[in-house]
Amino acid sequence: MRARISGNEKASLFAKKILQIGEGTFPVDESSDQITLSNELCNLVKTPELIYKIYPNIRQNYVNSEWFYERSILATKNEIVNSINETIQDMIPGAVKIYYSIDTTINENESVNFPTEFLNSLDIPGMPLHCLKLKVGSPIILLRNLNSPQLCNGTRLCVKQLQNNVIKAKILTGKDKVNTVFIPRIPLISNEMSINFKRLQFPVKLA
């Protein structure tokens, strides 16, 4: 996360406080070992209110790819991110298309210890979900390098068409912005866990 001073006093104060938090020099409450954020730094709201604030009139604005590109909500855990993303996508008109991954262990002898149902349940950083739910118009992010430098890990796109074996999408970032591309299913192997397994899925997540 970056804080940029935009020429006013409040922006300068915000940048200074964020820097203190990052460096561990922000004052800490000795009784609770926590920091207290004032109204100058943040507003406490419930998740639905936050979503409506960041994504107002989404049923009308979702067709504008730039509108999605200019907005984002940060969260601390994958399950929170997934929940917020699904809530926002539910607000977009249209039918949901579901893609299920094919999960297998690399070592066939380990398949007895790690059944398919267990592999399907794993939500690992940098890996797509087993059950990938998408709509036309949804913003997504690429999780692997497919065709560098056009399609790299972290590239944001907007879904234009959902086919059985390919996703048609428009690039929202970088020099290839607005270009249309096709994303295939690919085998993905994660190094985040001791279990060596392979997931065949589209390398994308809601964004």
Helix, strand, or coil (residue 79) = helix
The span from the CA of 138 to the CA of 88, in Å, is 9
Looking at residue 7, its pLDDT comes to: 59
Looking at residue 194, its pLDDT comes to: 77
Looking at residue 2, its pLDDT comes to: 53
Looking at residue 117, its pLDDT comes to: 93
Token readout for 206 is 């809601």
3-state SS, 142-206, equals ECCCCECCCECCCCEEEEEEECCCEEEEEECCCCCCCCEEEEECEEEECCCCCCCEEEEECCEEE
pTM of the model: 0.77
173-180: list long-range contacts, CB under 8 Å, 24+ apart.
173/69, 174/149, 174/150, 175/149, 176/149, 176/150, 178/65, 179/150
Looking at residue 11, its pLDDT comes to: 75
Give per-10-residue mean pLDDT for the chain (207 aa).
58 81 85 80 83 90 83 85 91 94 86 87 90 94 88 92 95 84 93 83 94
